[in-house]
Amino acid sequence: MKKKLVKLVSLSAAAVMAAAALAGCGSSDDTLVMGTNAAFPPFEYTTSEGLVDEFDGIDVAIALKIAESMDKTLVIEDMEFDGLIASVKTGKIDMAVAGMTATEERAQSVDFSDTYFVASQVILVAQDNEDILSAADFLNDKTVGVVLGYTGDSIVTETLGVAEDKITRANRAIDVVQDVKNGKLDAVVVDSATGKALAEKNDLKVVEDPSVFDTEEYAIAVQKGNTELLDAINAVLAEMKENGEIDALAEQYN
């Protein structure tokens, strides 16, 4: 019963009133405002000495390059993941760089850059859990944690049809991971790179199920029609892909 996550195949027509798009933009002339949810290692997290203030991670490193290429100072707004699309839409932030999967639904509200990372969802369970070997096992009365508004949330809710009273939605992955550790939840569904990092830190087991969890492509979201910023982002991403910098970052932050 595999229902594919609808992925963004081509960028939507970008020739849309650039002037209107720039009105109400989150940046001043010399700043570029990145919105993110800094609870998603290795893409964005907080640490005592981050790349930008307390923020560090693959996305922060990429965003810095983008700001540099535009001669702007990067400013980071940390917010709930669920609020990022609206913040791009209203111009509160210039771009969402948040390990965000480019889905068709989101692309109705924002424009996405080219893809810079491919991931999928994984399941995290306690080391001694032997009841959950695939996502279908959730339907045997299991409790599942997800992060509100993540693609993992929509797969568990819509694709798998897990009952509402069995789903716990948190604003940060670590909160539901703690619940699995404490035995309050049977499983968590979260993005693969983050899931693997969290499993290692918290001594949990990773269960993969490619029959349900399709690949997801991460991209940067900008306000619809902001081709100037989108072009600058895509130029930096192309260069970083070509010279191996993205691979190096994935390795470095692994």
Task: Count how many Cα atoms sit within 13 Å of the Cα of residue 34 in the half-sphere of its side chain.
Answer: 27
Whichever of 132 and 173 has its CB closer to ligand GLN, that residue is: 173
Whichever of 129 and 216 has its CB closer to ligand GLN, that residue is: 216
CB of 201 to ligand GLN, least distance (A): 17
- Residue of 137, 179, 186, 191 that binds ligand GLN (CB under 6 A): 191
Whichever of 150 and 213 has its CB closer to ligand GLN, that residue is: 150
> What does the alpha-carbon distance between residue 73 and residue 179 come to, in Å, rounded to a whole number?
38
Q: Which of 222, 232, 220 is nearest to 68 (CA)?
A: 232
CB of 100 to ligand GLN, least distance (A): 4
> What does the alpha-carbon distance between residue 40 and residue 191 come to, in Å, rounded to a whole number?
9
Binding mask 125-154 for ligand GLN (x = CB under 6 A): ----------------------x--xx---
Whichever of 186 and 216 has its CB closer to ligand GLN, that residue is: 216
Per CB under 6 A, does 27 bind ligand GLN?
Answer: no
Helix axes 58-69, 227-242, angle to 10 degrees: 120
Task: Count how many Cα atoms sit within 13 Å of the Cα of residue 82 in the half-sphere of its side chain.
Answer: 12
> What does the alpha-carbon distance between residue 224 and residue 105 come to, in Å, rounded to a whole number?
14
Per CB under 6 A, does 159 bind ligand GLN?
Answer: no
Per CB under 6 A, does 81 bind ligand GLN?
Answer: yes
Per CB under 6 A, does 37 bind ligand GLN?
Answer: yes
> What does the alpha-carbon distance between residue 45 and residue 41 come to, in Å, rounded to a whole number?
5
Residues of this chain that interact with ligand GLN (CB under 6 A) are: 37, 40, 81, 98-101, 147, 150-151, 191, 216
